[in-house]
Amino acid sequence: MPELPEVETTLRGIAPHVTGRTVTAVVARVPKLRLPIPSELGTTLPGQTIDRAERRAKYLLLRCSGGTLILHLGMSGTLRIVPAGTPPGKHDHLDIVLANGTSLRFRDPRKFGLVLWTTGDPLAYPLLANLGPEPFSDVFDGGYLHRLGRTRRAAIKLLLMDNRVVVGVGNIYANEALFRARIRPDRPACALGEDECHRLAAAVREVLRDAIAMGGTTLRDFTVAEEPSGYFRIHLAVYGRGDEPCHACGEPVQQSRLGNRSTWFCSRCQQ
């Protein structure tokens, strides 16, 4: 599933090709993905210019002159730029045709993606309105985690993965950040000291930054005909490594369940 680093890489891949371009047509080949594709897109979007492309959590926002197109890649979605008129593949469900002879093409084999349109503030759109801060924003730091965690008995890993606390920390990145911060995933959030919260906030940013950096080198050009290559992974210290020796101390990596998600940690390195 595309995680925040893949979405950020997608944004960086497509932004130079869509910013400042005018839409000439919208081709939706299915009526709905996870939700219906707004039927008015075909009439409202042509003639509008894409002023800028942004990311909020895992949503891509194409801010146009008369509203915002909100895209979510769901479980399997990819975006790329193709010459207009390139025959669509089976899973190419949407083309945004641009005046320069290219199309932004949305492929989504599992159809869990989203294509939405709003003329209001996209950040106030129901799906986006209650999202927590971005991990790279000034708001998200150790002090913030500490203040928020003080009253929570939930495991710190569950807090990290809660979109209302911070966005974009999926299971891989939560496991890896906790390892780097040397904190056991099942510790109650309220038991963490301020120093630990600072280590953890820094570790979250570090793993995401590493993954984004990896994406920049792993993903091929967004303007080639094939879909962007598979989703990338940072060097994994614990995720998926149950019973294998910890890279730091050699102790077998432990696997457990936490909030119904697989969880890995080193019982010697993480306290």
- Residues serving a catalytic function are 2-3, 58, 261
Binding mask 198-237 for Zn ion (x = CB under 5 A): ----------------------------------------
If residue 137 lies in a helix (H) or strand (E), which one and from where to where?
Answer: none
Query: What are phi and psi for residue 17, nearest 5 degrees?
Result: -90, -20
Residues 156-185 binding Zn ion (CB under 5 A) are none
Rule CB under 5 A: choose which of 91, 152, 205, 268 binds Zn ion: 268
On the 0-12 / 13-18 / 19+ scale of CB atoms within 10 A, 65 is: exposed
Closer Cβ to Zn ion, 57 or 246, answer by number: 246
Alpha carbons 189 and 152: distance in angstroms, whole number: 6
Place of tokens 């056991």: 184
248 binds Zn ion per the rule CB under 5 A: yes
Rule CB under 5 A: choose which of 51, 249, 256, 262 binds Zn ion: 249
Distance of closest approach, residue 158 Cβ to Zn ion, in angstroms: 22
Rule CB under 5 A: choose which of 14, 104, 246, 258 binds Zn ion: 246
Residue 256 bridge partners (DSSP): 263
Distance of closest approach, residue 240 Cβ to Zn ion, in angstroms: 16
Closer Cβ to Zn ion, 1 or 236, answer by number: 236
269 binds Zn ion per the rule CB under 5 A: yes
Alpha carbons 113 and 243: distance in angstroms, whole number: 35
Residue 258's contacts (CB-CB under 8 Å, 6 or more residues apart) are: 155, 157, 158, 185, 186
Contact stretch for Zn ion (CB under 5 A) within 32-40, 165-173, 181-189, 242-250: 242-250
Contact stretch for Zn ion (CB under 5 A) within 124-132, 134-142, 237-245, 249-257: 249-257
- Joined together, the tokens standing for residue 76 give 């399997």
Alpha carbons 248 and 252: distance in angstroms, whole number: 11
On the 0-12 / 13-18 / 19+ scale of CB atoms within 10 A, 208 is: buried
Distance of closest approach, residue 262 Cβ to Zn ion, in angstroms: 18
Task: Tally Cβ neighbours within 10 Å of residue 218.
Answer: 16
Contact stretch for Zn ion (CB under 5 A) within 61-69, 180-188, 197-205, 246-254: 246-254
Could you list the residues that contact Zn ion (CB under 5 A)?
246, 248-249, 251, 266, 268-269
